[in-house]
Structure 1
């Protein structure tokens, strides 16, 4: 795994061995950012199920100002910290070491890009988006990127957001919601 493009482009990313996380492949990561960007002019990123941190790091590499990563797995947290150090811009990243539901209750800032890639066994996307919208944590121009198993059917609309783009990549499906 590596950062695909931007300021950190080409730098290697560590990933967690085993089945606890499913790192997004470089191919899918590149495709996601080509769908939504591919580059940004500032903004805040929320990566609610950070895994290795690769998606949030890619977003900052491509121009987002800062990223908040949430991860409950201790081994994954260690990998995220190593990957953040690799950027040499640690001040752009915050890591919250807790479950997503606990983090959602504590959030108090508005996000321009939300990355939702929960473990396939625990699909939480609809409730996560509803929670973020209800608490007014989504900017007017927000992009919500959801990565799921290709068999998962998400609703056309969630909390005032509608599917803008959707595409399958192997066993994964990427769905992007906008206002």
Structure 2
């Protein structure tokens, strides 16, 4: 696993030990950034199920000002912090050890807003529609913000979720990337 492009490009990242975390493959990660970017002039990125932190680190490498990485597992948080050290830019990252629901509430209470929210929960624990609604109701997206959902091919997401419009969807093997834009 590596950082594909940008200011941290080609640096190798560590994976979370064990089998509780399923990393986003480099192929899917590269395709994801080609769909939403590929490069950015600032902004804030939220990764609600960060795992190794690879997607958020890629986002900052490609031009986001900051990324908030959330995970509830100790081994994931440890790996995220080790991978952030590789960037030598720890001030660009905010790491939270908590579950997704608590993180959304915490971020809302602290008036945090994001340009992109990335949702890649464990495939067996997917609650995408609930989380999309919570993100909208807690006002966590900036105007024009998007939510990127990574699911397996067993999950069927609706084209239009209340308050959002699906703007793109692509399948990569068993992985599906769905991108929703917040309606103004």
Q: TM-score, normalised by structure 1?
A: 0.97
Distance (Å, rounded) in 2 between the aligned partners of 1:89 and 1:121: 33
Matched, 1:173 2:176: yes
Instruction: Please identify runs of 4+ aligned residues in structure 1 that moved more than 4 A.
Output: none
SS of alignment partner, residue 152 of structure 1? coil
Unaligned runs of 5+ in 1: none
Q: Which residue of 2 aligns with 1:25?
A: 25
Q: Tell me the distance in 2 between the aligned counterparts of 1:111 and 1:5.
A: 22
- Establish whether residue 141 from structure 1 lines up as the match of residue 118 from structure 2: no
Task: Give the drift of 1:106.
Answer: 0.7
Deviations 1:31-54 (CA, angstroms, capped at 9, x unpaired): 000000000110000000000000
TM-score (normalised: structure 2): 0.95
1:157 is matched with which residue? 160
* Number of residue-to-residue matches in the alignment: 179
2:121 is the counterpart of 1:118:
yes
Asked whether the equivalents of residues 133 and 159 of structure 1 are also in contact (C-alpha less than 8 Å), the reply is no
Match for residue 131 of structure 1? 134
In structure 1, distance between residues paired with 2:117 and 2:34: 16
1:76 equivalenced with 2:76 (yes/no): yes
User: Structure 2 stretches of 5 or more lacking a match?
Assistant: none
CA RMSD of aligned residues (A): 0.9
Query: How far apart, CA to CA, are the structure 1 residues paired with 2:162 and 2:70?
Result: 22
